[in-house]
Structure 1
Amino acid sequence: MPPRVRTLSQAFRAIFGRRAKKIPLDAGSSCPNRDGALSQNGCLFCNAAGSGTGLHLKGFGLRAQWAVLSQPARRRNEALLAYLQSFSNTYGPPERLAALLAEMAQLPDIEGICLGTRPDCLNNKKIKLLAAAPVAHVRLELGLQSANDATLTRINRGHTAADFARATIDAAAAGLSVTAHVMAGLPGESVADFLATVDFVAALPIAGVKLHNTLVVAGSPLAALYAAGGYVPMAREDYVTAVCRAIARLPVQVAIERQNADPAPGELLAPAWAADKQGILRDIAERLEREDIWQGMERKTGKCLRRPGGIIPPGPP
């Protein structure tokens, strides 16, 4: 029986022929949603560190970070990928991106590059720079969160779903792999809204997807909304249901790179269940097994799909 979910590990094995490791690096990038170009408040849910290590502010350059953080994976003979994770790493002039790529290309034993960014921080010139990087694999992690433009306005994203679609199509056409970030439990959204976002990204040329539950973290605008009673986090059972339904709707070739969010130590305010990362993963795995759900079984066709051992009807949206 084939696996129920295609993982990033499986995708990387197909690319590199062995295990691969993304080494998180901090390039000191900014974000138009924080420096005043769009806003100074950031996205509603975002923490102050932009989900990064903060090592750049402590004076560590990319090479110094790489030298330390890549050692465990190097000892395991894993393929090494530089991962610019925090904030929007293609923000700014193309010359800055070109300099970052040139610096990363010189990192010892590097085989791939992953960059987190926003769809409105990409253009054709930047995409061409990324496509020309002298490594075996370049992966763009693009934040979408929701395909509903009203939600995007509500959470202060500063871009539209159409911006995401354009960036994804252009990047994929240039040979880049795109990973979409989507969130369940955003203010004003239901499970059905989340699944509509999943359907939106599934119709685009994505190589991967990261599924996140919405976290209320200290210092975020969402924390203030939560404290005032204006936001109720998603229930654990509802999130497990949402993820399992999303898995069923995603194409089998898409790597499901994450199934739940990973709060940093000390930042989580709510929901309390989000701290139990491994328990949530077990809940999802058990639900997939119990209900015989597998990736791609519901591809917006409204039809029953055949799997070895029986016919599985599509569930409710």
Structure 2
Amino acid sequence: MNNDRFYSLNNYLKDKFGKKIYKVSLDGGFTCPNRDGTISSQGCIFCSDVGSGEFAGSRRKNISDQIDEQLEFIKSKNKDNKVIAYFQNFTNTYGDIKYLEKIYFQALAHEKVIGIAIATRPDCIGEDVLQLLKKINEKYFLWVELGLQSASDSIGEIINRGYNTCTYIETAKNLKKENIKFVTHMIVSLPTEKKEDLYNTVKLINSVGSWGIKIHMLYILKNSKLEKYYNENSFKIYNEDEYVETVISLLERLNKNIVIHRLTGDPKKEDLLLPTWSLNKRKVLNSIHKNMKLENTFQGSKIEE
């Protein structure tokens, strides 16, 4: 635990590597089974046309060039230039196993890269991918990110997630068995969501041994499927105070050893419809810190014995 009252990724990496470590976001040229017709052609209703990698490198460039390009962007604040290569865009284990091995090791071969992070779906880690991840994990720093969003299968159907919660549990079990660190994504303010759904999601994340978590607000993007759904099925969108209060209540119910990778997100201003308050990321984070201090509360403080 740290002065921030929760176990942040920043502090975890400082403890492990002895200094601040940045991530560089890469585009491996992937698609998603929820877009290419394997499961659906619609995608999750909250996902943008470029996946979740709005700030990733260009897929027109090779992995090494993308890393160099991203390093140039952060050179003013990253003097040591040591980074984690983050395969962010779409589903980064959804491809031919030889191609996956090629691009992962291209990233690891870069002189400035000290490890990789791979964002994917729980239904896209078959045995061949699992063995490749195991091979990498034995020699390099690695984490895998799984997009759960909610433990509720009924909410999963609304957002067109394309897999059930049992699939997440099984994949988490397989990764845990191989000692591969994984991060679970969850979203606040999904359609029909109740507080109990959020608490059940955190309870599940605790129970499967997730190494890390990413929490962020649901964004409604302009001209998206979610905008259409919202116009037809108006559901609650949290205001800033409600979001801050909710995130704190989730942290209080989260195991103390789970690393906090994100507590809010980075929507692009020109694409965002709602909620507009989410554009001020620093203010949201400051409010979470301030309120936790005022309430004298901590990550894990309300976990039942």
| 1:85-106 CA-partner distances (Å, limit 9, x unpaired) | 1100001232222222232232
Question: Is it true that 1:138 corresponds to 2:145 in the alignment?
Answer: no
Q: TM-score under structure 1 normalisation?
A: 0.89
Partners of 1:182 and 1:205 in 2: CA distance: 15
- Counterpart among 203, 207, 212 of residue 208 in structure 1: 212
Q: Is the 8 A contact 1:185 1:191 kept in 2?
A: no
Q: Determine if contact 2:254/2:300 at 8 Å carries over to the other structure.
A: yes
Deviations 1:160-181 (A, max 9, x none): 1111111112112212111100
SS at match of 1:36: coil
Residue in 2 that maps onto 1:276 = 280
Aligned residue identity for 2:127? N
Match of 2:58 in 1: 56
Structure 2 match to 1:262: 266
1:18 Cα deviation from its structure 2 partner: 2.0
Which residue in the other structure is 1:9 paired with?
10
Whether the 8 Å contact between 1:47 and 1:219 is mirrored in structure 2 is no
Say whether the 8 Å CA contact 1:19–1:78 is kept in structure 2.
Answer: no
Following the alignment from structure 1 to structure 2, what is the Cα–Cα distance between the partners of residues 121 and 92?
9
Length-normalised TM-score, structure 2: 0.92
* SS of equivalent to 1:193: helix
- Residue 305 of structure 1 aligns with which residue? none
Percent identity of equivalent pairs: 29
Q: Does 1:83 align with 2:55?
A: no
Root mean square deviation of aligned Cα: 1.9
Given that 2:56 and 2:88 are in contact with CA atoms closer than 8 Å, whether structure 1 keeps it comes out as no
Runs of 4+ in structure 1 off by over 3 angstroms are 53-57, 71-75
Q: How far did residue 232 of structure 1 move?
A: 3.3
Runs (5+) with no aligned partner, structure 2:
none
Amino acid in the other structure paired with 2:32: C
SS of residue in 1 equivalent to 2:169: helix
Note the 1:1-317 alignment, pairs <5 A: 2-3=2-3, 4-52=5-53, 53=55, 55-57=57-59, 59-71=60-72, 72=74, 76-133=79-136, 136-301=140-305
Deviations, residues 52-90 of structure 1 (Å, cap 9, x unaligned):
146434x21111111121243595115311100110000
- Maintained 8 Å contact 2:7/2:257: yes
